[in-house]
Chains A and B, each alone.
Chain A
């Protein structure tokens, strides 16, 4: 079955370090998204991509970057981790054009703690 996989599931790191979270989907979806989930804030969009070589900033993009070199992967990089970036991170994908209203499929998340 097609799926979306996030790795690692848990990570602890120190402030100032560079961290990369992986997201891999096997649906061949054009659209991919990164969110962070925090108590009291719900789900907030970090970055998104509508296809290879396309990336866009979301609501809370400062301190994060993404690149889309193929259809399957959208890694999220924290350039210099800060304690405020401690959160649960979710990757999602959806099929079709950006105008389509196909539902997003979510990974099971990465719990990131920055000490």
Chain B
């Protein structure tokens, strides 16, 4: 079965500091991994994805994520946090060995950036 875990419900960081939002996954084949962000009263917005290739993936709004196969992780990072980055972040995974199965989402991590 495919699954994804976001071990932190809440992450607090000071503005200007680097941020990391953690994600680990479990699949039987190779993973396809995604990060989405949700602002209040809005739907999820796509940030970035890893399919194959370079382990460091760059996405929207200065975010990047590092795929680590040995640790089965795909942590979201940003070098310098902004107050406007405060939102709910979701990691999602799909197993490429499972045919047409859709994405599985984590439970989300709330990021608060403090001025």
Contact = CB atoms under 8 A, between A and B. Distances in A.
A35 B44 CA distance: 11
Interface string A90-107: 101000001101011111
Contact of A43 (B49, B100, B108): B108
The SS class assigned to the A binding surface is: strand
A101 B107 contact: no
B46 A45 contact: no
B106 A42 contact: yes
Of residues A45, A101, A108, which shows the largest number of chain B Cβ atoms within 10 Å of its Cβ?
Answer: A101
A98 B43 contact: no
Contacts of A40: 107
A45 B102 contact: yes
B51 A101 contact: yes
A50 B101 CA distance: 11
A58 interface: yes
Q: How large is the interface on A (under 10, 10 to 19, 20 to 34, 35 or more residues)?
A: 20 to 34
B90 A103 contact: no
Contacts of B90: 42-43
A41 B32 contact: no
B34 A41 contact: no
A102 B44 CA distance: 14
Contact of B100 (A33, A58, A92, A98): A98
B12 interface: no
Contact of B43 (A42, A50, A58, A90): A90
Contacts of A92: 43-44
B104 to A, nearest CB: 8
Interface of A: 4, 33, 35, 40-45, 48, 50, 58, 90, 92, 98-99, 101, 103-109
- A-B residue pairs, 8 tightest by C-beta: A106-B43, A42-B107, A103-B46, A98-B100, A43-B105, A106-B44, A42-B108, A101-B32
21 contacts: A35-B105, A42-B105, A42-B107, A42-B108, A43-B108, A44-B105, A48-B102, A50-B100, A58-B102, A90-B43, A98-B102, A101-B94, A103-B46, A104-B44, A104-B103, A106-B36, A106-B44, A108-B42, A109-B41, A109-B42, A109-B43
